[in-house]
Amino acid sequence: MHYWRSLRPQQWIKNAFVWAGFLFAREWRDPTLTAHVAAAFIAFCLLASAVYVGNDWLDRASDRTHPVKRHRPIAAGRVSGLAAAMMCSGLAAVAFALAAWVDLALVGVLVAYVLLNIAYSFSLKRVVIIDVIAVALGFLLRLLAGTLGVGIAPSPWMLMCGLMLTLLLGFGKRRAELAAVERASARSVLADYSPELLDRLITVCVSGTLIAYSLYTISPQTIILHGSANLVYTVPIVTYALFRYLYLLDLRHAAEDPARLMLSDRHLQGATLAWLIAVIWIIS
Tell me the pLDDT tens digit for each residue of 180-237.
Answer: 665 445 567 888 898 899 999 999 999 999 999 999 999 898 898 888 899 999 999 9
Count of domains in the chain?
Answer: 2
**Does 71 score more than 80 pLDDT?**
no
Segment 63-67 mean pLDDT = 70
pLDDT at residue number 87: 86
The rounded mean pLDDT for the chain is 86
Q: Are residues 89 and 101 in the same domain?
A: yes
Question: Distance of CA 208 to CAs 38, 140, 202, 223, 235, Å?
Answer: 30, 16, 10, 21, 13
DSSP character for 155?
P
Q: Are residues 185 and 242 in the same domain?
A: yes
DSSP character for 74?
T
Q: Are residues 221 and 165 in the same domain?
A: yes
Q: Are residues 189 and 256 in the same domain?
A: yes
Q: What is the biggest distance separating any 2 CA atoms in the chain, rounded to whole angstroms?
A: 56
Q: Which of 136, 128, 109 is nearest to 39 (CA)?
A: 109
Q: Name residues whose C-beta falls within 8 Å of residue 75's C-beta, 6 or more positions apart in sequence.
A: 56, 59, 60, 63, 64, 66, 69
Yes or no: say if 252 and 172 are a contact pair by the CB < 8 Å rule.
Answer: no
Q: Are residues 79 and 59 in the same domain?
A: yes
Q: Which of 171, 165, 108 is nearest to 140 (CA)?
A: 165
Q: Give the integer Cα–Cα distance in Å for 267 and 32.
A: 35
Question: Distance of CA 282 to CAs 55, 234, 237, Å?
Answer: 41, 10, 14
Q: Are residues 170 and 131 in the same domain?
A: no
Q: Report how far Cα 160 is from the mean position of its chain's Cα atoms.
A: 14
**CA gyration radius, the chain:** 19
Segment 121-142 mean pLDDT = 92
The CATH number linked to 36 is 1.10.357.140
Segment 108-114 mean pLDDT = 95
Torsion of CA 83, 86, 87, 88, to 10 degrees: 120
Q: Render pLDDT for 135-157 as a digit per residue (tens, 0 to 9).
A: 999 999 999 998 988 888 888 88
DSSP character for 153?
P
Q: Give the integer Cα–Cα distance in Å for 215 and 165.
A: 15
Q: Give the integer Cα–Cα distance in Å for 149 and 147.
A: 5
Query: For 79, phi and psi rounded to 5 degrees?
Result: -125, 125
Q: Are residues 97 and 215 in the same domain?
A: no
Segment 161-180 mean pLDDT = 87
pLDDT at residue number 183: 45
Percent of the chain with pLDDT over 90: 47
Q: Are residues 45 and 119 in the same domain?
A: yes
Q: Give the integer Cα–Cα distance in Å for 3 and 58.
A: 17
**Does 121 score more than 80 pLDDT?**
yes
Neighbour tally for 257: CB within 10 Å: 17
Q: Give the integer Cα–Cα distance in Å for 59 and 61.
A: 6
Q: Are residues 20 and 125 in the same domain?
A: yes
Q: What global pTM score does this model have?
A: 0.84
Question: Distance of CA 109 to CAs 40, 52, 161, 189, 269, Å?
Answer: 10, 18, 19, 27, 29
Question: Which residue, of 104, 133, 154, is where some domain finishes?
Answer: 154
Q: Are residues 91 and 211 in the same domain?
A: no
Q: Are residues 58 and 14 in the same domain?
A: yes
Range of the domain at 6: 1-154
Q: Give the integer Cα–Cα distance in Å for 79 and 6.
A: 8
Q: Are residues 203 and 90 in the same domain?
A: no
Q: Give the integer Cα–Cα distance in Å for 141 and 147.
A: 10
Q: Render pLDDT for 84-102 as a digit per residue (tens, 0 to 9).
A: 788 888 999 999 999 999 9
Question: Which residue, of 126, 154, 182, is where some domain finishes?
Answer: 154
Q: Give the integer Cα–Cα distance in Å for 188 and 118.
A: 18
